Amino acid sequence: MLIGVPKEIKNHEYRVGLTPESVAEVVQNGHEVIVQENAGIGIGADDEAYRAVGAEILTTAEEIFAKAEMIVKVKEPQPEERKLLRPRQILFTYLHLAPDPEQTRDLIESGATCIAYETVTNSQGELPLLKPMSQVAGRLSIQAGATALEKAHGGLGVLLGGVPGVEPAKVVIIGGGVVGFNAAQMAVGMQADVTILDRDTARLEQLSNHFGAAAIVLYSSKAILESKVATADLVIGAVLIPGTEAPKIVTREMLSTMKQGSVLVDVAIDQGGCFETSKPTTHDNPTYIVDGIVHYCVANMPGSVARTSTYALNNVTLKHVLAIANKGCKQALLDDPHLKNGLNICRGKVTCAPVAYGQGYTHMPAELAISAKAGSSGKKSDLSEEIMLS
């Protein structure tokens, strides 16, 4: 199979779909890889590093998309990239379609087979391709929040860990999953006053056993949530419902109870955000203020630590890239139900139920879509003609 790796073009996105080490394994398995010029420069991998392991370097994204059978990326394809996708082409990347109906429409119309990292599962019911980026984002959320709390950035002027004789900042983490756990580790390490809120009692017990007296772990009732947000210096939004939009946990009304200059960091912004006042921002302009509250809502937080993030991501994506390349996409999906859960759009059909129901498309189960006749609307199906996926 011919695999293409374009240079990421989202604002301040420095990650790359495949590292040189990953390309070496793909080539050793008998496949070809084309990489866009300077695609790996953000992780310290120049074009010569890719050539040395057997990749061909091409100048433009147009060349990559025109030739490759499978496109391996990091972030969702931007509008200009979506125009380059072809029927029967495989796209393997993060998509986060739930809050992005325009992307959904474009991917349907492209006729491509689109597999989303964030909905691939494992036997434990986890999201292993999302996990490493959640770990990175959780840890970064505390760094970003600590910076936003500085007066020069619009914050309250509070040092996260305080100093002897002065109390530390109060950090409230909403959600005790992978993001929340990693955020709590960092906040505790910086000697902040940390509270973790969650509604899963089993998870609350795990968190309590892990952190002991270093963090307060509470059931997230409405009253507890409101009281903790009102007194917080820094609130981390770490709520995820796989495949669908994040629920709006903190309302606009609740901002009026918070201290002026306190900070909200919305790690769920890729899925629409879990604060009612959230809107996506970029590393160029990461924060804005609503009702005196600083909001940090960067939609590609891990991109700022591109080398760490890319290698962590490749650790979990490479085996799937090889499976698709070695077996062909159809057989790889049929052989692995967890990879099949990553199939979001297939030849004009929406195969991710939360996306279909949330955006008004007819949901087609992946098993049927794999053998369905391609259509452009995503709202009709014809199973009379089998499509053999590349």
**CA separation for the pair 228, 234 (Å, rounded):** 10
113-116 sheet: strands from edge to edge: 56-58, 32-36, 2-5, 70-72, 90-93, 113-116, 343-346, 349-350
Closest CA to 237 of 250, 220, 255: 250
270 is catalytic: yes
Spot the catalytic one: 31, 96, 295, 320.
96
284 is catalytic: no
Spot the catalytic one: 266, 270, 320, 336.
270
3-state secondary structure 97-164: CCCCHHHHHHHHHHCCEEEEHHHCCCCCCCCCCCHHHHHHHHHHHHHHHHHHCCHHHCCCCCCCCCEC
> Any idea what DSSP says for residue 43?
G
Could you identify the residue written with the tokens 């061909």?
Answer: 56
Rg of the chain (C-alpha set): 22
The two structure tokens encoding residue 229: 């947000």
Q: How far is CA 94 from the centre of its chain?
A: 6
Beta strands in the chain (DSSP E): 2-5, 32-36, 56-58, 70-72, 90-93, 113-116, 170-174, 193-198, 215-219, 234-237, 263-266, 287-290, 293-296, 343-346, 349-350
Give the residue numbers marked as catalytic. 96, 270
